Amino acid sequence: MILPHSETAVLLLIVLGFLCWGSWVNAFKLAGTRFELFYYDFTLGALLAVGISAYTAGSMGFDGFTVTDDLLNAGRHQVLYGVLAGALLNFGNMLMMAAVVVAGMVMAFPVSFGIALVVSGGLSYIGNPSGHAALLLLGCALLTGAAVVDCVAHRRMAVLRHEALAKAGKAKSTRRPTAAKGLALAVVGGLLMGTAYPLLANAQDINTGLGPYSVGLVVVLGLFATTVVLNLFFLNLPVVGEPLELTAFFQISISQHLMGILGGVVWFAGMLAGLVAVSPRTGLHPDPALDYGLLQGGPVLAALILPFWGIAGVVITYGALYYFAAVLTLFIHVDQPKGVAAATLATH
């Protein structure tokens, strides 16, 4: 399998994941269809991407070690960890998308990914205490505070918008809008996604764990299995709108199907970039909590920029950050962890 062998490559992979996870939801916006229908194509896109990656980059390289070899040599518990992580990530992702439909991306993304980062960072520290606990607590407090402020601001904006419509005689109801439903969906989605990351770290155990491409494969299998079950629930009990029949999936346009597939491909590309970057087999990996935090920062940044400068502003900002990161790699040096087995790399 192909793995990075320099700090620069690891950092660029993290930046790639940051970009992908911050932009895949734009495919949903461009598709212009119900998220329940979009999600079937999203899952197909993830399956397509994992199949291509597993049997190209995941089975190439100087070591001759393929994804199939990796799956056969891994422990059963590590495979189960990967599947469960995929299921939790998918359920959380679906709830976050439901929150986007109910309350908008500006509220749903910062809340979901902020909570996911707090939970994943806390669980990672409990499992492997490293760094400064005080700084971790401060960061978690800031993220929690930011999520609360975002909810308050969203609530205030909704009330002002409703009052303006009421004055113009266009309000459908005199009852003030509430963000409780969207907030609940975003919070639960964030909790589920945050819980999944320690499972991903366990699935990549240095001794009996899976490689990054194999982890990606089992994660998407968990995603596929839960989509089949959970999306039927959302079709019959939608968060917004009328219930849908499964046949509605075949009635949307080809361009809408393609947007859904593109969203799944971009999402998985971000996931795989993060998994490869933190793989213990490289001997270069940063702390997984740092990697997941950077990946989750992409959607939050997109949500903050989008209302003011639109998609073009998001693209320009990401491009500037990507350029900055590329230049930064010329001047930084990451201390290597001691005792990461060169012998382990040789065996793979």
The token pair at 336 is 């290597």
The answer to whether position 342 is within a domain reads no
pLDDT number for residue 62 = 60
pLDDT number for residue 268 = 93
The answer to whether position 284 is within a domain reads yes
pLDDT number for residue 101 = 86
The answer to whether position 2 is within a domain reads no
Q: 4 and 63 in contact (C-beta within 8 Å)?
A: no
pLDDT at residue 249 greater than cutoff 60: yes
**Looking at the 3D structure of the chain, how many domains does it have?**
1
Region 235-239 average pLDDT: 90
Q: d(Cα 297, Cα 35) in Å, to the nearest integer?
A: 23
pLDDT at residue 173 greater than cutoff 90: no
Region 32-38 average pLDDT: 91
pLDDT number for residue 343 = 36
Which residue range forms the structural domain that includes residue 320? 7-332
Model's pTM, two decimal places? 0.75
The answer to whether position 286 is within a domain reads yes
Report the share of the chain in percent with pLDDT over 90: 24
Q: d(Cα 256, Cα 347) in Å, to the nearest integer?
A: 45
The answer to whether position 337 is within a domain reads no
Model confidence pLDDT, tens digit, residues 51-71: 999 888 887 766 667 788 878
Residue with tokens 């502003």: 313
Question: Most confidently modeled of 65-69, 261-265, 290-294?
Answer: 261-265
Q: d(Cα 17, Cα 298) in Å, to the nearest integer?
A: 8
pLDDT number for residue 156 = 72
pLDDT at residue 265 greater than cutoff 80: yes
The answer to whether position 297 is within a domain reads yes
Model confidence pLDDT, tens digit, residues 186-200: 889 989 988 888 888
State the DSSP code for 55. T
Q: d(Cα 8, Cα 326) in Å, to the nearest integer?
A: 8
pLDDT number for residue 333 = 47
The answer to whether position 204 is within a domain reads yes
The pLDDT confidence band at residue 345, using thresholds 50, 70 and 90, is very low
pLDDT number for residue 32 = 87
The pLDDT confidence band at residue 320, using thresholds 50, 70 and 90, is low
pLDDT at residue 278 greater than cutoff 70: yes
Range from 9-18, 214-223, 318-327 carrying the lowest mean pLDDT: 318-327
The region that residue 240 occupies, defined by phi over 0 for left and psi between -120 and 50 for alpha, beta otherwise, is beta
The answer to whether position 197 is within a domain reads yes
Q: d(Cα 105, Cα 97) in Å, to the nearest integer?
A: 8
Instruction: Say whether 63 sits in a helix, a strand or coil.
Output: coil
Region 10-21 average pLDDT: 78
pLDDT, greater one: 83 or 63: 83
